[in-house]
Amino acid sequence: VLTQSPGTLSLSPGERATLSCRASQSVRGDYLAWYQQRPGQAPSLLIYDASSRAAGIPDRFSGSGSGTDFTLTISRLEPEDFAVYYCQQYGWAPRSFGPGTKVEIK
């Protein structure tokens, strides 16, 4: 089971966002991904293997962590970054998602 915190993060553009994803058991290989989902759109991949940025993702997005505790950091929020973020583990079957963190404009 994956849990994400906080459920909602209220920040202003330009601020730093720190999102947490915690697993109930160690994630094999640190096989954890982060996705962004804007309203009315499909999810899009940001980070895979805990810390590798997907193609075309700006470097203000970074992932870190290992074992059971992982973090997505957005160094300076841009207007387009206000969205819902999901973590996904693919270290064990079945793959699963966390419940999501909504980053909203304060």
**Contacting residues toward other proteins, per CB under 8 A:** 31, 33, 35, 37, 42-45, 48, 54-55, 86, 88, 90, 93-100
Closest separation between CB of residue 100 and other proteins, Å?
Answer: 5
Non-local CB neighbours of 57 within 8 Å, separated by 6+ positions: 45, 46, 47
CB of 65 to other proteins, least distance (A): 15
Q: How far is the CB of 36 from other proteins (least distance, A)?
A: 11
Give the C-alpha separation, 54 to 104, whole Å: 23
Complex with other proteins: residue 3 or 10, whichever CB lies closer: 3
Min CB(84)–other proteins separation in Å: 8
Q: How far apart are CA 33 and CA 47, in angstroms?
A: 5
Can you tell me the distance from the alpha carbon of 82 to that of 80, in angstroms, rounded to the nearest whole number? 6
Q: Which is nearer to other proteins, 3 or 13 (CB)?
A: 3
CA distances to 39, 52, 71 from 63, rounded to whole Å, are 23, 7, 6
Nearer to other proteins, 11 or 54 (CB): 54
